[in-house]
Amino acid sequence: MFRSFALIAVASCASAASASIYNLQSDWSELSNPFGPWGLREGLNYLPHVDAWQRVLGGWSTFQPGWARSEDANTRLPFFFKSNGSETFGHDWSEGEVVVHTTDPGNGVGSGHANVIFTVQQTGTLSVTGGLWIGRDIGRSMNWEVFLNGTILTGGFLASGDAYSSANPFEFNQGYGGTNALTNLSVTAGDVLELRFTTQTNAGDFVVIDMTVENIPAPGAVAGLLTMGLMSARRRR
């Protein structure tokens, strides 16, 4: 009987461990970058924290923290933030959503492209869901692309006046790589998935990021867990 209960308990643990779900919004941190498997970068460099982006230049009624090289200087782009809801300009996102202002030559002096990376936690498969949309319609545009270990998988184009919005995001599975480009990817722990933004106009703009990653371990990992559980159960008998 004890062995049966042990089998049930171990099987339950294996089932719970079968998939790990990561969401950029719910995993967000103001304390460290990278945080968990996520990293916010310009080029290859992780961005430092700022307490009040555009503190002097304005745009928020309450100081907006986030990740950028500076608050008000011409190095303030790219800027990643989780909206505090106090924006004083027209925008298409809600409080709590994750947004990036892409870089440009004017206010991203010395900065590389804005990019989010996800470091794979478990050898197995990886799937990405969610979508993107430009946060304002003021005549700006950018490309988005997803890479795995430097190899491009899919991408698309966002621009003022396009069909995409908070009500109709540009879903990752709608990119030019096809509907399965980001589904059940074979991955090894330590692999790097990158979402990159390349500004196509003189000035960058805000893009809202809704991104969830599911990492499922290879069957051997779950089988190993079951084996260890059974061995432990036998020792306790």
pLDDT of residue 9 exceeding 50, the answer is no
Summarize the confidence of residues 69-97 as an average pLDDT: 98
- For the chain, the maximum distance between any two Cα atoms, rounded to a whole number of angstroms, is 71
Residue-level pLDDT at 129: 98
Three-class DSSP labels, 27-79: HCCCCCCCECCEEEEECCEECCEECCCCCCCCCECCCCCEECCCCCCCCCCCE
pTM of the model: 0.88
CA–CA dist 128, 120 (Å, integer):
12
Domains and CATH numbers, the chain: 20-217 (2.60.120)
Encode pLDDT of 187-212 as tens digits. 999 999 999 999 999 999 999 999 99
* pLDDT reading at 234 higher than 80: no
> pLDDT grade, residue 224 (50/70/90)?
low
pLDDT band at 231 (very low <50, low <70, confident <90, very high): low
Residue 5 above 50 pLDDT?
Answer: no
Examine the pLDDT at 221 and tell me if it is beyond 60: no
Look at residue 98 and tell me whether its pLDDT is greater than 90: yes
Concatenating the DSSP letter of every residue in the chain gives: -HHHHHHHHHHHHHHHHT-EEEEHHHH--SS-SSBTTEEEEETTEEPPEESSTTTTT-SBSS---EE-S-SSSTT--SEEEE--S-B-S--S--TT-EEEE---TTT-TT---EEEEEE--SSEEEEEEEEEEES--SS-EEEEEEEETTEEEEEEEEETTSS-BTTB-EEGGGSTT-TTTTSSEEE-TT-EEEEEEEE-SSS--EEEEEEEEEEEE-HHHHHHHHHHHHHHHHHH-
Measured CA distances, 202 to 38, 140, 164 (Å): 28, 8, 21
- pLDDT value at residue 220: 72
Reported as a pLDDT band with limits 50, 70 and 90, residue 71 is: very high
Please give the mean pLDDT across all residues of the chain.
91
Q: Is the peptide bond before 34 cis (omega within 30 degrees of 0)?
A: yes
